[in-house]
Amino acid sequence: MAKAVGKGLAPYLKALAGSWWLAQFDLHAEAAAAARDAFQIAFSGAKQKEALLFTRTEVRHLKHRQSRCTPGSHMKLCTQAKFAVMSLIVMNSNHSQSLQPHRAYLRSRLL
């Protein structure tokens, strides 16, 4: 769908950004892969970082979701939010243009 919509996605990007980024770290592999594939189709290479910078405020709300995780919280959502936030930290500490190595690194270290 991201490929079919193309640039028509732009007006909705800020509304979708946080949930789309979070979905890429879903603990269900197929759901995460679908979100990652759609993100990579919509934004190739350096455009991925540009899209995240453009929507940084919306994506930062992930930190708030993670900070609300308490012992009584749904662990799947907390884990997913932690993956998403940590990926942003790793990505921001590295000047690489591709997000794929960061995702692979986090998955190898945390799963």
- 111, HSE (Cβ side, Cα atoms, 13 Å): 14
**Distances 20 to 55, 70, 92, 109 between C-alpha atoms, Å:** 11, 23, 18, 22
pLDDT band at 88 (very low <50, low <70, confident <90, very high): confident
Q: 2-30 pLDDT, tens per residue?
A: 677 777 888 888 888 888 888 998 888 89
At residue 76, the pLDDT reads 77
Reduced to 3 states, what is the DSSP secondary structure of residue 24? coil
Q: Where are the domains of the chain?
A: 2-110
Which run of H or of E encompasses 70? none
Average pLDDT value for the chain: 77
Rounded Cα distance between 17 and 8, Å, is: 15
What's the predicted TM-score (pTM) here? 0.69
Burial of 73 (0-12, 13-18, 19+ CB in 10 A): middle
pLDDT band at 101 (very low <50, low <70, confident <90, very high): low
